[in-house]
């Protein structure tokens, strides 16, 4: 079974550096400064929860860090959602060393569309993953 949404890109950054940005779970606002109003982090490491307020949106998102494995895989789940048109959301980010240097990142998720057509939700999420990946590249 494939993922419902997926974006991939090769970055001119080391896998270790990209992974460090991913597991800086409360630092997502640095990656999306134009979209994120605030982030509050509860706990640390696996099981930590970030509460994200988006600019111009009523409500918040809460995401839980589910896994961070060997600087290769990070996953998280959306556990409270009053903003996005999805439910049962889980994302997996896989990093591999790119031939010739750098890091290949694949950001994928499974979810159920809620209140919007599946194709619209897919396009929104794939655009979001692209912005997150570009943010990692920008902050280096």
Q: Quick one: pLDDT at residue 65?
A: 98
56, 71 contact by CB (below 8 A): no
pLDDT of residue 57: 87
Q: Are strands 61-69 and 5-11 parallel, antiparallel or unpaired?
A: unpaired
Q: What are phi and psi of 48, to 5 degrees?
A: -65, 155
Per-residue pLDDT at 1: 56
Residues 6+ apart with CB under 8 A from 96: 15, 72, 103, 104
Mean pLDDT of the residues in the chain: 95
- Please give the pLDDT value at position 58: 87
């Amino acid at each position: 079974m494939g993922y419902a949404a997926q974006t991939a890109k090769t970055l001119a950054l080391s896998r270790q550096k990209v992974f460090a940005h991913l597991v800086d779970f409360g630092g997502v606002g640095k990656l999306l400064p134009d979209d994120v109003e605030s982030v509050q982090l509860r706990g640390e490491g696996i099981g930590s929860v970030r509460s994200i307020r988006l600019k111009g949106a009523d409500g918040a998102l809460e995401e839980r860090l589910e896994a961070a494995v060997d600087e290769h895989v990070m996953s998280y789940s959306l556990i409270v959602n009053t903003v996005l048109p999805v439910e049962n959301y889980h994302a997996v980010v896989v990093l591999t060393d790119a031939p010739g240097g750098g890091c290949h990142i694949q950001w994928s998720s499974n979810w159920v569309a809620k209140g919007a057509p599946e194709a619209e939700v897919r396009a929104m999420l794939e655009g979001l993953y692209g912005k997150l990946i570009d943010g990692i590249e920008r902050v280096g």
